[in-house]
Structure 1
Amino acid sequence: MSFGSPNNPYGQPQDPQQGQPGYGYPQQPGYPQAPQGVPQQGYGYPQQPGYPQQGGYGGYPPQQGYGATPPYANWGWRFLSRLIDSLLYGIPYILVIVGAGNKTPALTIIGFLGLIGLFVYQIILEGRTGQSLGKKAVGTRTLKEDTGQPIGAGMAFVRQLAHILDGLPCYLGYLWPAWDSKRQTFADKVCGTIVIRSS
């Protein structure tokens, strides 16, 4: 019996150079062959998927302690943002004073509603984005210290109430960021917030 015989149980031998199963290259069951021209991945450790880079503070990724020191806003930037916010509140406040002085109830009511509306707007804005109008103007942002995320409207309101602590001991809490390592006021320390430079 010859290998070329049709009775050969092993079949016709094939040329290994043609990529066909032969005696030197048996076809293994369960292992599909990759088409020609497609690079095959080698053995060993599987290729790891790429990890996307974490964004900067514009993306506010969740984090624990930031991993690196964030760019805390110094006392000057904090004071400037607070000054801008105070000036904005001054506009409806003047309407209240003028209306009360001239005995013009309509003007007083407009000013009073303006104060309430601006306060609520600022709370919602800072809670969602970390920026009041003043902070947005100077490029600072209030974030939760342990997550690096905006603090939410509820905590933004609580933080505004906590500023009472900053004013009680001769406004010492407002001055505290000038030498504090994290540039925090007393209200920030109580609420677990920080103010960073965002631009």
Structure 2
Amino acid sequence: MGSMEMENLHDSYKYSGFWIRMVATLIDSILMMFITMPLLYSIYGASYFDSSAVFRGVPDLLISYVFPISVTILFWVYKSATPGKMAMKLKVVDAKTGNPPSIQQSIIRYVGYFIAFIPLFLGVIWIAWDRKKQGWHDKMAGTLVVRAQNNVVEDVDFSEA
């Protein structure tokens, strides 16, 4: 990416903070529940939701784990955002270039969520204090979440990754 393109990216986007990202995550979670819960209900019936079992079989594994992971990573790679982030006009980008994240970055970012959640959600709450509004999952993957300049406060600098 040329220096003029990087300058335009810098001028066009700002870092996205904690609360707007939480709203986007809530939207994504609700949408995923609207897809997965009816599928699980149609296969297992109401008893699925009363069970304390973590794993109920291959359909459960595919619907509850493989599908959400795959869809999230594909949205990041091909759209730079999940539906919730799109609704909030946010983008996940490579911290160095401003381009969409690679498949590798997206996988690391997804796995990084689990690491960020382990110590009392500290790795996610970290977004509120970080200068570039990165959670631990973003730092691990080398990504940023950005928003159009007229919607937030802080300038994005892709050259300092």
TM-score scaled by length of structure 1: 0.57
> What pairs up with 1:11-50 in 2 under 5 angstroms?
none
Q: Structure 1: where are the runs of 5+ without partners? A: 1-51, 58-65
> What pairs up with 1:29-178 in 2 under 5 angstroms?
54=5, 56-57=8-9, 66=10, 70-95=13-38, 96=40, 99-102=43-46, 109=59, 112-113=62-63, 116-178=66-128
Partners of 1:91 and 1:115 in 2: CA distance: 15
Q: Which has the larger radius of gyration?
A: 1
Greater fraction helix:
2
Partners of 2:118 and 2:136 in 1: CA distance: 10
Partners of 1:80 and 1:56 in 2: CA distance: 27
Q: Which amino acid is the alignment partner of residue 136 of structure 1?
A: M
Q: Offset of 1:122 from its aligned partner?
A: 2.6
Q: Offset of 1:197 from its aligned partner?
A: 0.4
Partners of 1:110 and 1:176 in 2: CA distance: 32
Q: Is the 8 A contact 1:93 1:112 kept in 2?
A: no
Q: Offset of 1:53 from its aligned partner?
A: 5.5
Partners of 1:122 and 1:130 in 2: CA distance: 10
Partners of 1:110 and 1:169 in 2: CA distance: 27
Identity %: 23
Structure-2 residue corresponding to 1:40: none
Runs of 4+ in 1 over 6 A off after TM superposition: none
Of the two structures, which has the highest relative contact order with CA contacts closer than 8 Å and spacing of 6 or more?
A: 2
Distance 1:181 1:134, change over 3 A: same
Q: Which amino acid is the alignment partner of residue 142 of structure 1?
A: V
Q: Is the 8 A contact 2:36 2:63 kept in 1?
A: no
Partners of 1:100 and 1:93 in 2: CA distance: 12
SS of the residue 2:15 aligns to:
coil
Q: Which amino acid is the alignment partner of residue 123 of structure 1?
A: I
SS of the residue 1:71 aligns to:
strand
